Amino acid sequence: MLLQDINRVVAWLMPSAIVVLTVVPPWLRPITFVPHKLEHAGIFLMLGISFGMDYLGRKWLLSIGAIVFCAAVEFVQLYIPGRHARLSDFIVDAIAAVIGVFVGSVLLRNRRTTRPNRPSPRRATQRPLC
């Protein structure tokens, strides 16, 4: 249960970090050696995976939410001096986030089905009736 709680916190911190990095002036953004599109794809893929693992069974709703979030992130940049909203960024972000949602749900589903069958604590402590 603790791991799921940590994942939920991480899942909700990621969009917060994306929004903060989107609204700060360009000179305050961290600079990496990774190409721009790959940088976008990576963070939105991780966002999708995190939400896909946390909200299992809601991949279609999460996909729509991810697309709306990506559009909002690009739209906000229209009103920030020095920032530029790009259709290509939106497309990369949305595709990566949606792929991440599906990858996250598959990863968690596979993890749950491949775990060895362990007796529940209640069954292990029950005494025979005879």
* 63 domain-assigned: yes
When divided into structural domains, the chain yields a total of 1
Q: Which candidate, 52, 96, 54, places its Cα nearest to that of 73? A: 96
* 53 domain-assigned: yes
Low pLDDT (below 70) residues in the chain: 1, 111-130
Instruction: Please report the pLDDT score of residue 48 as a whole number.
Output: 95
* 41 domain-assigned: yes
* 89 domain-assigned: yes
Range of the domain at 47: 2-18+35-113
Instruction: Please report the pLDDT score of residue 65 as a whole number.
Output: 96
Is residue 108 a contact partner of residue 53, using CB atoms and an 8 Å limit?
A: yes
Instruction: Please report the pLDDT score of residue 72 as a whole number.
Output: 96
Q: 95 exposed, middle or buried (CB, 10 Å; 0-12, 13-18, 19+)? A: middle
* 94 domain-assigned: yes
* 118 domain-assigned: no
* 123 domain-assigned: no
